[in-house]
Amino acid sequence: MSGNRGVVYLGAGKVEVQKIDYPKMQDPRGRKIEHAVILRVVSTNICGSDQHMVRGRTTAQTGLVLGHEITGEVIEKGRDVENLQIGDLVSVPFNVACGRCRSCKEMHTGVCLSVNPARPGGAYGYVDMGDWTGGQAEYALVPYADFNLLKLPDRDRAMEKIRDLTCLSDILPTGYHGAVTAGVGPGSTVYIAGAGPVGLAAAASARLLGAAVVIVGDVNTVRLAHAKAQGFEIADLSLDTRCTSKSPRCWVNQKWIAPSTP
Ligand SMILES: [Zn+2]
Ligand SMILES: [Zn+2]
User: Tens digits of per-residue pLDDT, 196-227?
Assistant: 999 999 999 999 999 999 999 999 999 999 99
pLDDT tens-digit series, residues 2-33: 699 999 999 999 999 999 999 999 999 999 99
DSSP string, the chain: ----EEEEE-STT-EEEEE-PPP-SB-TTS-B-SS-EEEEEEEE---TTHHHHHTT-S-PPTTPBP---EEEEEEEE-TT--S--TT-EEEE-SEE--SSSHHHHTT-GGG-SSS-TTSS-EEBT-TTTT-BPPSSBSEEEESSHHHH-EE-S-HHHHHHTHHHHGGGGTHHHHHHHHHHHTT--TT-EEEEE--SHHHHHHHHHHHHTT-SEEEEEES-HHHHHHHHHTT-EEEEGGG-----TTSS-EEETTEEEPPPP-
Q: Which residues surround ligand 2, an ion (CB under 5 A)?
A: 97-98, 101, 104, 112, 114
Dist CA 246 CA 260 (whole Å): 9
Q: CA 88 to CA 80: how far, in whole Å?
A: 16
37-44 and 139-142 beta bridge pairing: antiparallel
CB 230 within 8 A of CB 247: no
Radius of gyration of the chain (CA): 21
CA 11 to centroid of ligand 1, rounded, Å: 20
Question: Which CATH number applies to 5-168?
Answer: 3.90.180.10
82-112 pLDDT per residue, tens: 999 999 999 999 999 999 999 999 999 999 9
How many A from CA of 100 to the centre of ligand 2?
5
CA of 177 relative to ligand 2 center, distance in Å: 19
What is the pLDDT confidence band of residue 262, given thresholds at 50, 70 and 90? very low
**C-alpha of residue 62 to centroid of ligand 2, in Å:** 28
Q: For position 259, what pLDDT does the model report? A: 63
Beta pairing, strands 213-218 & 189-193: parallel
- In contact, 81 and 36? CB cutoff 8 Å: yes
Domain limits of the chain?
5-168, 171-257
- 120 Cα–ligand 2 center, Å: 9
The Cα–Cα gap between 121 and 112 comes to 5
**What is the Å distance from ligand 2's center to 67 Cα?**
21
Q: Can you identify the CATH homologous superfamily of domain 171-257?
A: NAD(P)-binding Rossmann-like Domain (3.40.50.720)
- CA nearest to 64, candidates 110, 1, 18, 32: 18
Instruction: Please compute the mean of the pLDDT values over residues 70-84 and round it to a whole number.
Output: 98
Give the ligand with the smallest distance to the CA of 97. 2
70 has pLDDT over 80: yes
Instruction: Using the mean position of ligand 1's atoms as its centre, give its distance from the Cα of residue 94 in Å.
Output: 7
Return all residues near 51 (Cβ < 8 A) that are at least 6 apart. none
CA-to-CA distance for 65 and 145, rounded, in angstroms?
A: 20
Of residues 241 and 87, which shows the higher confidence score? 87
